[in-house]
Amino acid sequence: MSGFGVHSEVGKLKKVIVHRPGLEMRRLTPKNAEELLFEDVIWAKKARDEHEEFVGIMRDNFDVDVMHVHKLLEDVVAVPEGRAYILDRKITPNEVGVMREKELRAWLDELDSTTLVRHLIGGLTAGEMPSDSVLAASRVWGENEFAIPPLPNQLFTRDSSCWIYGGVTLNPMFWPARREETLHLAAIYKYHPSFSDGDFQIWWGDPPEDGHGNAMLEGGDVMPIGKGIVLIGMGERTTYQAVGQVAKRLFEAGAAERVIAAKMPADRASMHLDTVFTFCDIDLVTVYQPVIDSIQTISYYPTDTGFEVVAEDRGWLDVVQDALGLSHLRVVQTGGDAFEQAREQWDDGNNVVALEPGVVVAYDRNEWTNAKLREAGVTVIEFEGSELGRGRGGGHCMTCPVWREPVY
């Protein structure tokens, strides 16, 4: 195999992209948290410690090649072409204003790679820019105004790009606060030496700065599960306009045989499919049943002229079971009584990430769901997530698998 491609949800995880919380988390305040899609202010140091524990499980115990966004970007902006690719798209009159554009671009071009990436992800305020002309502007707009906004959701690397079999999509995300994350991943795939000569396709979303209208896609909704099947949620963040385009491209390339879409309520608590449904083993999933019961299942099949769409008259779990050819799909529901189930779904009890068949990583706070998974024979490796969990994302959200082995 080429070292790239995600061919299942539970095959051995070989290579993954993550992002350790940094300056961007320290920029969160009670005033801007909602705008930046957080319910609370996170203790950044504690979140970094928790993230390092999570990474250590994958890297040290399961020999996963863990790649960090900030280090990948540092390598990219060390190359003139990579630096220009990002700054040409980020430092524009539409983003930073006419008065700032030339001075800011010239200053950023002179920064060392580490400092530049720190500000690309962590944000840059007017007061942090040293030139006299920019400081004059900062007196007009305020020294704490962001010339470059922080990206605290870069933590959730699953969403901005997602690997589907032998290629990747560059995702136009739903909320403006997240869209710059995709630009960073696009630059990595195009200019980092680990990817630039790689044998993989960019299925859709390139160039990332193009307006995609109502076509929105986020990786937490996307699951290649093997046998040419791709599951895609359509809820708060992913739209049918994007699903149709991705399905068409995959079918044209012969990369998929069927796309199964889950039409879900547009609700913050179930923003992505992986907040209510994840695979833990070849034949076992964990689910939050109240949302699963509400899913309308829609199948896309290739045709000579594109694709056809079939509204299924069976439930989501039955369709997935039959698509995989399983005689029985084992289902572990969120644990506890109705109150505990609601709490643990909110705390990402169903958002676990498999490191190999039957082995998952989960927050320790979800004790009821973790216990039920263990009863079903799943090895659950726990790590502390008291701070990371405030961002409404678990291990599945915080990982962008780049290479995962097939199971069929």
Over residues 86-91, mean pLDDT: 94
How far apart, in Å, are the Cα atoms of 67 and each of 58, 179, 223, 336?
Answer: 11, 21, 21, 36
Render pLDDT for 221-251 as a digit per residue (tens, 0 to 9): 999 999 999 999 998 899 999 999 999 999 9
Residues labelled as active-site residues: 397
pLDDT of residue 246: 97
What distance in Å separates the CA atoms of residue 278 and residue 280, rounded to the nearest whole number? 6
pLDDT of residue 1: 44
- On whether the CB atoms of residues 35 and 151 are closer than 8 A, the answer is no
pLDDT of residue 67: 98
41 pLDDT more than 60: yes
pLDDT tier for residue 127 given thresholds of 50, 70 and 90: confident
12 pLDDT more than 50: yes
- On whether the CB atoms of residues 41 and 28 are closer than 8 A, the answer is yes
Rounded to 10 deg, the angle between the 80-90 and 69-77 helix axes is: 110
Is the pTM value of this prediction over 0.85?
Answer: yes
277 pLDDT more than 60: yes
Taking Cα atoms as reference points, which of 169, 178, 157 lies closest to residue 401? 157
What distance in Å separates the CA atoms of residue 349 and residue 278, rounded to the nearest whole number? 10
What distance in Å separates the CA atoms of residue 166 and residue 282, rounded to the nearest whole number? 20
SS3 sequence of 90-122: HCCHHHHCHHHHHHHHHHHHHCCHHHHHHHHHH
pLDDT tier for residue 185 given thresholds of 50, 70 and 90: very high
pLDDT tier for residue 142 given thresholds of 50, 70 and 90: low
pLDDT tier for residue 306 given thresholds of 50, 70 and 90: confident
Over residues 157-175, mean pLDDT: 96
Q: Which domains does the chain have, with CATH numbers?
A: 5-68+152-404 (3.75.10.10), 72-148 (1.10.3930.10)
For 214, counting Cβ atoms within 10 Å of its Cβ (0-12 exposed, 13-18 middle, 19+ buried), the class is exposed
More confident residue, 212 or 17: 17
More confident residue, 256 or 139: 256
* Percentage with pLDDT > 70 across the chain: 96
pLDDT of residue 336: 84
